[in-house]
Structure 1
Amino acid sequence: MRYLVLSLLACLLFTNQLHAQTANGFGFKGGINYNANGDYFESINSNAKNPERNVGFHFGVFGKIGKQIYFKPELVYTSTKSDYDNDSFKMQKIDAPLLAGITFFRHFNIFAGPSLQYILDTEFDGVSISEVENDFTVGLNFGVGFSLKKLGIDLRYERGFKENEATFLNNNGLGISRIDTRPDQLILSLSLIL
């Protein structure tokens, strides 16, 4: 059975009737992200709490220029969530990855590039956080993709370049808490060129 499935996949990949997502143009994308932000410090002298990863989502638009070697700018709304013991840190942001990629074997591609990020809103355990060190940050995206005709799927990793702390009064009002808002996430996307 396993050989039958592998044979069918090989036939699909190498048939001449299939075409890769080589069209230049504009399209839509969306998917899920598996995210964890940085460490949480409950007060100045406390030990760091590491986040538990959680699932978020994203959707947006992109453009693509080139075929074998391409440039793909994107504009994406992203919602992430990280859990710290019984508390949750939620963040909404606009991401603008500027990706360069190479297509190989007609359907596969690898890509990388900087991701410009603007934080729209942050919330920790029901408290809106307004003291984020930098609303605008830069990170890195890199990943792999597979495409057929106008449909594509990719898996990428995103990481912020430097710490970006949010500070706020903790629940008991006796100290200042800090969270590193830098993203550390796996992103799975479906895309469609129009």
Structure 2
Amino acid sequence: MNVNLQEIINKLQTAKGELQKQQRFARFATGLDELISHTSEPLMLMVMGSFSTGKSSFINALVGEEIAAVEAKPTTAVVTKLCYGQQDKLLLHFRDGKVQSATPQEFTRMTAVNDEEMLNEVHEKLDYVERQMPLEILKQVSIIDSPGLNDVKEKRSEATERFVSKADTVLWMFSSWQRGKRWRRWTD
């Protein structure tokens, strides 16, 4: 698959060069830049659903490590992007555009629901948390863990809704006990 994808990227770059040579089509080359850039990046898989449907457990099983917090109550406080990096690194992306580094040891504290007043205020200001890790699977796919859509904190559900447009693919998880009660809202 990698060979085919690289061939596609090469053909897009060739097409871009040809468009740039022809003055009247040069404006279309910019659109190809975006397509080439997006095609070169790993697939972005967003895991969504109500809280306590196994989103975090699924992600942990997929990457082969216990990364995301798992409990029977809402546990993911902010949208969390797991992506490839040569070393374990944590970046906090705030809604105002600022990015701040944190240590990987702070991951659970920065992403999980807790009773710390100060952290709850930080969670409300965060757009998402990015964790870069040297895991082979993350070279092919970036995984987005999201707060449950029926979370009691409306800000958490809003963050999930805001981030879904950035995903290439959405995996919708639901409990057979809930029988899709909440997902109708997304299909209406």
Query: Does TM-score exceed 0.5, indicating one fold?
Result: no
TM range (shorter): under 0.3
User: Which protein has the bigger strand share?
Assistant: 1
Q: TM-score, length-normalised on structure 1?
A: 0.22
Q: TM-score, length-normalised on structure 2?
A: 0.22
